[in-house]
Amino acid sequence: MTATTEPMNTGPTTAEEAIGRITVPPVRVGLVAGGLGAYWPQFPDLLPRLKESAARVSERMRGLGAEVVDVGFISDEREGAAAAERLREAGCDLIVGFLTTYMTATMLVPVAQRSGAPVLLINLQPTESMDHATVDTGQWLAYCGACPLPEMANAFLRCGVPFRSVSGHLEDERAWAKIARWVRAAGVRAALRRGRHGLMGHLYPGMLDVSTDLTLVAANFGGHVEVLEFDDLRVRVEKVTDAETEARKRLAREVFEFADSVNDADLTWAARVSVGLDRLVEDFALDSLAYYHRGLDGEVHERLGAGMILGASLLTARGVPAAGEYELRTSLAMLIADRLGAGGSFTELQALDFARGHVEMGHDGPAHLAISARRPLLRGLGVYHGKRGYGVSVEFDVEHGPVTAFGIIQRRDGRFAFVASEGEVADGPLMQIGNTTSRVDFGCDPGEWTDAWSATGISHHWALATGHLVPDLKALADLMEMELVEVRL
């Protein structure tokens, strides 16, 4: 992973500048525009106008941050087949078919069948409305992109190709917001399909909900799970120099406020482990990490497990989500939230506040520093609840305002599903025990929400992300042909 100095999209400026972000490849969008070639000799001015619209669509796609593979304008089924081969070879993450006027389904079905990527059809007429008093047939045909849309839907569905579309006009910001959502979702899908996910240590004893079938990760998402030992981390930590450790301690002081309970010995060890973690991630080219090790009587593996929180939180803020307790599905949920620009912090239920109507959630583990409501605090702990060892932990609450609880379910039949619930982080008293804690108002009785959330089959960890993400998650679920369960009471 290569760090950049480019600021993050969310969170405190000081942390952003100090930590930096990894570089994330842009989503690759294949673009093909088309219309019925029989029109061109009949209406000489039509094709140049449609090509101008196609150029504008290509320009706006690039404005969304996409790498655009533009194969030009097609006029018949032969040109469609040639475009399909070019897009297949390009390895696109999303294919966008621009219906500029009427065109036959046989022109785009090969593109959808051969590309290996999901297809989005867009129907964007030149303006909001025609000048009906002066329009002639050739001018009308430039507004006729809606005409083939039902034909495309029918043909796609009969051919077993998932269908999705956006209709509007060329400068319709509502339509472009929808298109942007599909582009973002395609980028996340690509991150999962190409991702390398570290799983280090062993399952927390007894946590049946956390256990994940590794083959199902490849079956549902694609990508690769790299099974790691804590010795893979140990040998790298042993090679960390004192100078590197001191530099990491200085970074920690830039990013965090320090509670009086932080002692130098624990901070030094956490900093050394943090540098070793960075090397582990780089050596195995990891995009995410889940870990846990129980340890015994203060031996080195126990100390490594206890010293992870500083480094894991810094990694998460850089865009490499890290989750404790061997929670692979949650590290994947955190990756999805991060790639949507929404952070995604490791969390679980902590308590219910019936007096205020809030669900209190968080964790004593890795946190996404970029979505903290304030400068995050580093607190020294004499003990981690339920886990061996001691050291430093991160404490903050998530930015106040819209948030989404988001997790991944493993069904009995082996399918994965998304589960999400939108709420608001609200003011209120917070624990001061070295945990991330947020008060979330889901607009209903907290007990009823907890029952409904638990009934989905979610494990006891998930990601807490900023913003209301259900529309983006619906798009991602559609592209991945997965179920999205929304909890809304």
Considering the domain architecture, whether residues 130 and 279 belong to the same structural domain is answered as: no
Q: How far is CA 126 from CA 54, 132, 142, 194, 437, in A?
A: 10, 14, 7, 37, 50
- Are 458 and 418 in contact by the 8 Å Cβ rule? The answer is no
The answer to whether 191 and 331 are in contact (CB under 8 A) is: no
CATH number of 463's domain: 3.20.14
In angstroms, the CA 327 to CA 1 distance is 22
Instruction: Kindly state the average pLDDT of the residues 207-232.
Output: 96
Mean pLDDT of 456-484: 97
In a domain, 2, yes or no: no
Judge whether residue 84 has pLDDT over 50.
yes
How far is Cα 123 from Cα 172, in angstroms, rounded to an integer?
11
Say yes or no: 385 and 449 in one domain.
yes
Buried b (16+ CB within 10 A) or exposed e, 269-281: bbbbbbbbbbbbb
Q: What is the pTM of this model?
A: 0.93
Is residue 5 in a domain? no
Residue range of the domain that includes 44? 28-191
Residues 149 and 199 in one domain: no
- Strand-by-strand arrangement of the 288-292 sheet: 224-228, 196-201, 288-292, 322-323
Per-residue pLDDT, 387? 57
Q: What is the mean pLDDT of residues 235-251?
A: 98
pLDDT, tens only, 411-455: 999 999 999 999 999 999 998 888 889 999 999 999 999 999 999
Q: What pLDDT, on the 0 to 100 scale, is given for residue 178?
A: 98
- Burial pattern 57-94, b for ≥16 Cβ within 10 A else e, equals bbebbeebebebbbbebbbbbebbbebbebbbebebbb
pLDDT (average), residues 333-340: 98
Quick one: 145 exposed, middle or buried, by C-beta within 10 A (0-12, 13-18, 19+)? buried
Which of 191, 213, 229 is the last residue before a domain boundary? 191
Domain tally for the chain? Answer: 2
**Tell me, what CATH number does 33's domain have?**
3.40.50.10940
* Predicted pLDDT at 1: 37
Residues 112 and 247 in one domain: no
pLDDT at 435: 85
Question: Residue 201 phi/psi, 5° resolution?
Answer: 100, -130
Place of tokens 């992109």: 145
Q: Are residues 434 and 462 in the same domain?
A: yes
Q: In angstroms, how far apart are the furthest CA atoms of the chain?
A: 87
Residue ending a domain, among 160, 191, 222, is 191
Render pLDDT for 21-42 as a digit per residue (tens, 0 to 9): 999 999 999 999 999 999 999 9
